[in-house]
Chain A
Amino acid sequence: MAGRQAVKAYLDLVSQACRAVLIFLKDNKIPHTVENIAIRKGQHKTPEFTKLNPMQKLPVLEDNGFVLTESDAILKYLATAYNVPDHWYPKLPEKRARVDEYTAWNHANTRIHISSIFLHEGLLPLMGQPTHPEKLEKVLADLDGTLDKLENVFLKNQPFLCGDDISLADLLAVCELMQPLCSGRDILKDRPKLLSWRSRVQSALSDSFDEAHSVVYQIREKFTAKLSPCLKQATL
């Protein structure tokens, strides 16, 4: 796309969806700049940012004056605009439908439970707020159900969630499933099938994956350092 200006991505890499966007931009060598918006500092609620995105959420993409929110929409837009390799968002209707099916299901399933775990196990303790262990237990049980579906309905015996190749579905899912590492919890540790899948995805994404997730590793360090030794033992 000669002569095209770089896109601008407003991101906070603590957010799963933001990491997915950054990895996609880097992996596909899409010219871009990043503006870091720190959610923990309330930078997503400033009048300036609210003007950009009234929902006060991240990520946001700006492409030469065209402002787009929602990671699903952003990824599909970039995949089409930059003519990335077909496997990301296949043109064949049945294959595309599988990716659309996961990206839709992701919202009310993977994302919602992961966000809850991050809140109850990560954010609240880090902010010194009271926690609700019974709520965390409930969410972990709900996530277990979600992981069962991920393994048995989506992945099955395929290398990736939607078939033989990595797609937007794997990208969104892996960023979600990395989030609980912030509080030192590897939710995939007893699931060899999903662990293999995660390794395959990480290999496919190599540098861009680690770069985007450096924040997660940093938070994990901070988290395990801050907590008392016996709690540390329980979460590892």
Chain B
Amino acid sequence: MSLEMYLDLFSQPCRSVYIFAKKNDIQFDYKKISLFEGYQYSEEYGKINLLRKVPAIKDGDFCLAESVAIMLYLAEKFHTPDHWYPADLQKCARVNEYLSWQHSAIRIHGSKMFWFKLLIPKALEVEIPKEKMDNAVEDLNASLNLFEEKFLQDRPFIVGDQISLADLVAIVEIMQPVGAGMDVFENRPKLKAWKDRVRAEIGAELFDEAHQAILYAQEAVKTMDPKKMEHFKPKILRYFLS
């Protein structure tokens, strides 16, 4: 019985699951897939996850989607160190609070910046109207401000002295706009210091390995064939620009 993980490291939630599994020496069969190739729409992938998103896992016969659900499941099954998802009720609630909030805040705004600054102009060859770009930057900044003021405050990590799933999910999302060439840490020394701590806790080698694809995105996009992205184009433009 083996654990299969379906991941594309361009995707933020795939990175958090990948890092979590590797950091905790969880053995898995790495099913590397490409979102840009459209694998998530294949019949084969439909047997794993009909929600057509990544990440997804298959543990024996048990299939599961959603990175938060996956990591909570793995934490329980593999008895990972307590600090990732504390047994203490209030600390656990703080992790859940962040994991919930981030869906409609940093995740959306960070994702959008990556599409707006890189993929839509460079791979889809469509220009983003200035007003939409300015609003997107403003939204991301507002989320980062809340992150620093409410979730981080003066603590080393979100929940306290130790890294948790909250920090892991936060860092992979915050790195997404970095992949588009946006230095989110500029003029944010507190955020930078937290990022350095998180990277050190995860292990620089593992962190960098997981982020290799996204940090290479600006180069990768130059060799991307716009024709391959044609089937995505209407859906993406409708989602982001209508």
Task: Answer whether A100 and B66 are a contact pair too, CB < 8 Å, given A93-B73, A107-B104, A138-B238.
Answer: yes
- Shortest Cβ gap from A168 to chain B (Å): 12
Contact A97 B104 (CB under 8 A): no
Contact A70 B100 (CB under 8 A): yes
Name B59-96 residues within 8 Å CB distance of A: 62, 64-70, 72-73, 76-77, 89-90, 92-94, 96
Contacts of B73 on A, CB cut-off 8 Å? 93-94, 96-97, 100
User: How many residue pairs at the A-B interface have CB separations less than 8 Å?
Assistant: 90
Choose from B51, B72, B103, B149 the contact partner of A97 (Cβ within 8 Å).
Answer: B72
Of the listed stretches A71-79, A182-190, A220-228, chain B binds: A71-79
- Residues on A facing B (Cβ under 8 Å): 54-55, 66, 68-74, 76-77, 80-81, 93-94, 96-98, 100-101, 103-105, 107-108, 111-112, 135, 138, 149, 152-153
Asked if B108 CB lies within 8 Å of chain A CBs, one says: yes
- Residues on B facing A (Cβ under 8 Å): 50-51, 62, 64-70, 72-73, 76-77, 89-90, 92-94, 96-97, 99-101, 103-104, 107-108, 146, 149-150, 238, 242
Chain B: CB-nearest residue to A106: B103
Contacts of B238 on A, CB cut-off 8 Å? 138
- Shortest Cβ gap from B133 to chain A (Å): 20
Contact A105 B51 (CB under 8 A): yes
Contact B150 A55 (CB under 8 A): yes
| 15 A–B contacts, CB within 8 A, in A order | A66-B93, A68-B97, A73-B94, A73-B97, A73-B100, A76-B96, A77-B89, A96-B76, A100-B73, A104-B68, A107-B103, A107-B104, A138-B238, A149-B51, A153-B51
Contact B72 A72 (CB under 8 A): no
Most buried by A among B73, B94, B96, B99: B96
Could you tell me the distance between the alpha carbons of A71 and B99 in the complex, rounded to whole angstroms? 11
Contact A108 B72 (CB under 8 A): no
Contacts of A108 on B, CB cut-off 8 Å? 103-104, 107-108
